Structure 1
Amino acid sequence: MYFKPLLYISNLLHWLLCPAYVFIRRLTRPFIKWILTRTTGLCELQRLCYCEPSGACRILGLEESLKNSKSVKVQKLLKFLDLAAKEKRLTAAGSGQIISKTVETICYVKKIHQGVHQPFNKLLGESVSVIWSLKQLLHDLESIRTTGYDSSNMEHEQKLLELWTLLMPMTELESRISNSWKDIGFQGDDPRTDFRGMGILGLENLHFFAKNYQEVALQVLSHSNHPKHGYSFAIVGINLTHLAYTLWRDGTAKTHVYNICCHQLQMPGPTLLHFHRFYCYLFIEFDKLWMSEKPPTIMEFGRIRSQFENHIRLLLANPNCMFKLNISVEHV
């Protein structure tokens, strides 16, 4: 699964060839678009909707096509959608009209007869909804990430204590400030200090994993307590929150996000639940890698973590990529 030479060669080829490919593609793209439009009678957006399979292939293509549009009206429309996502207006009640107006505007600019191309209206609307729902979710994630753990906030405190109960069901916590927190992988007597890097998002991820996949979380925790090859469960979990957030923020995870939305028929777009499940997948897979590597010391964490990230990025580079938790509680 983790074949290092192949991974290094693949990354090297990508680094060498990608700039040349991008340059040639940008140079020839307008000419190819003109030829295809003249021969098919369909604009690029229509070709993508009708010819590309549902999921990342179609949505990524539409996203790039809209981004590269030279139409002033289309660019103005994209700014409007970005603002709507930032202001969190893509709600169950408000997104319908926004998406409808978006499709109407694009059809007007591209001279597409909506009555004739009704399937196009539906496919474009669904894709636009997914794209900007993800952008809105990223704003939500940033808000959670930048919210620091507050020990005076009862909701934060309750969730932290629930985390202990879920991971240590047979052991009662002596007190809120206790050396016992190290048993589940925190660094000191007060876990609050360990959440500084990722804010409350780190706690939200750990709590979701422990609550919704408790049996698996307890198994991973037992691995982390291995006498020779152990690691700090909570600290690694927070580090993986950073990895998950980075992959979503820089767009690498779009293949998974777009595919999972279409596969689970959960249009119009991703939710916080999708991010939590993505995080759980990373935690489980990282634990598998760690235990297979059997590192002699925790000082190997940097190397293994880097190896793991490279592997995940390589998988996500495949437009058909879709991570699924192959465990009995997948429906949670």
Structure 2
Amino acid sequence: MFLFDWMLQRILPVIFLYLRPFIKWFLHTFTRLCELQRIVYGAQAGASRTRQVERSLMLSQNVDIQQLLRELDTAVETCSEDELRQLPVRVVSVVQRVKRIKSKIHPDFAPLFGTCVLHIWSYRHLLHQVERLRAEPYDANNLDHEQKLLELWNRLMPEEPLEGRITKQWQDIGFQGDDPKTDFRGMGVLGLENLLFFSREYRDAAHHVLLHSKHPVYGYTFAIVGINLTAMAYRLLKSGDAKVHFYNVANSLNQACSLIHFHKFYCYLLFEFDRFWLESEPTNIMDFREIYQRFEILIMEALHNDKTLFKTNLVVEDV
């Protein structure tokens, strides 16, 4: 059975690629619409439509479209937010010319297709933003880094003044030792930015989770677990597994994918992991790896559904 499933997963995509030109020709002849038109008119708005548009563009054999895609991928590495919002106009123009789509006959194509383009390349732009933060190491000589770390303490422990920069007090919010900078090595300042966003934007939820982390039986290291969930959010973003959520968020808000959306995705993961951890009733902190992996599988299974959108109205019922 396993061998049969493995063969299907390997053979069916090859068969599809071989038959794709014929299928496209047949459908175009029958509907008088190109593949991109059939997608934007027929697929549900959000992840379903955007992922199909993305796949169609990536499989295109047209030289002009291939060149355009390469230029877009290069542009989103460093472009500004304003430049990012201008990309759909250019893409729509090229595709309409190549596919001979007349705007007067098909007025709905440009706005529908342009929205998908914005979501696709804003996601790729977001990837570069997140990667830069992850690659930036925490620097104790960087005043901005130090101020954000101090703000994290003040937001999580407002009633308890920090005695010094190097102190065991950091362990009270779940760092491993006397100096938090060593715990940011894996995720760089991205880990700090995520924790700080959670404490800023979801104050009650942050205190709720911190309180749970100090549970006498099921307690865990809040900051370290938070950084591990930064790693999970980063992995899901980079692999593309998180596209469903981000495309649906961008569509629901009529916006481009942004760094704020990534921070909110992280906050959802941290808040839900806290609940999942307590419900799992771990024997001790040594159960972390197993529970963490089960939680990640749960999230990935949800992301297999094109309708998935993780809502970040983090409701604290009992602090």
Global fold match (TM > 0.5):
yes
Instruction: With the length of structure 1 as denominator, give the TM-score of the two structures.
Output: 0.90
Aligned equivalent of 1:311, options 293, 298, 304: 298
- Aligned-pair distance for 1:226? 1.0
Q: For 2:310, give the aligned amino acid.
A: F
Structure 2 unaligned regions, length at least 5? none
The structure-2 alpha-carbon separation of the partners of 1:211 and 1:271, relative to structure 1 and needing over 3 Å to count, comes to: same
1:120-135 equivalences in 2 (<5 Å): 120-135=109-124
Q: 2:44 aligns to what?
A: 53
1-structure distance, mates of 2:163, 2:4: 55
Q: 2:56 aligns with which of 49, 62, 65?
A: 65
Cα deviation code 1:77-130 (max 9, x no counterpart) = 0001111101225x22x3454322221111111111123222101111111111
Give percent identity, aligned residues only: 48
1:34 aligns with 2:25: yes
TM-score, with structure 2 as normaliser:
0.94
Is the aligned partner of 1:272 residue 2:259? Answer: yes
After superposition, give the CA deviation of every residue in 1:30-62 in whole Å (9 maximum; x if it has no partner).
222221111100000000111111101110000
CA distance in 2, matches of 1:154, 1:14: 55
Relative distance call for 1:13 and 1:54 in structure 2 (3 A) is farther
Q: What is the CA deviation profile of residues 134-175 of structure 1, one whole-angstrom value per residue up to 9, with x for unaligned ones? A: 111111111111111111111111110111111111111111
Residue identity opposite 1:233 in structure 2: F
- Contact in 1 for aligned 2:134/2:189 (Cα 8 Å): yes
Q: 1:29 to 1:59 in 2, by over 3 A?
A: same
Q: Which residue in 1 is equivalent to 2:279?
A: 292
Gaps of 5+ in 1: 1-10
What is residue 206 of structure 1 aligned with on the other side?
A: 195
Inter-CA distance 194–22: structure 2 relative to 1 (3 Å threshold)? same
Aligned counterpart, 1:79: 70
CA contact (8 A) 2:166 2:178 kept: yes
* 3-state secondary structure, aligned to 1:144: helix
Within 1, Cα distance between the matches of 2:110 and 2:92? 6
> Matches of 2:299 and 2:159 in 1, distance apart?
35
Question: Could you tell me how far apart the structure 1 residues matched to 2:189 and 2:298 are?
Answer: 27
Cα separation, partners in 2 of 1:323 and 1:16, compared to 1, 3 Å = farther
Shift of 1:327: 3.1
Structure 2 vs 1, CA of residues 84 and 185 (structure 1 numbering), >3 Å: closer, same or farther? same
- Is 2:220 the counterpart of 1:231? yes
Alpha-carbon RMSD: 1.9
- Mapped partners of 2:102, 2:73: distance in 1: 26
- The partner residue of 2:16 within 25, 37, 48 is 25
Report Cα offsets for 1:9-41 as digits up to 9, x if no partner.
xx9998775435434433433222221111100
**Deviations, residues 190-232 of structure 1 (Å, cap 9, x unaligned):** 0000000000000000000011111111111111111111111
* AA aligned opposite 1:48: I
Code of the aligned partner of 1:196: R
- C-alpha distance in structure 2 between counterparts of 1:308 and 1:110, whole Å: 44
Q: Distance in 1 between matches of 2:86 and 2:289?
A: 48
**Structure 2 match to 1:3:** none
- Aligned twin of 2:270: 283
For the pair 1:118 / 2:107, whether they are aligned, the reply is: yes
Seen in structure 2, the aligned counterparts of structure 1 residues 74 and 151 have a Cα distance that, compared at 3 Å, is same
SS in 1 for 2:50: helix
Corresponding letter in the other structure for 1:47: R
C-alpha separation in 2, matches of 1:221 and 1:326: 18
Equivalent position SS for 1:116:
coil
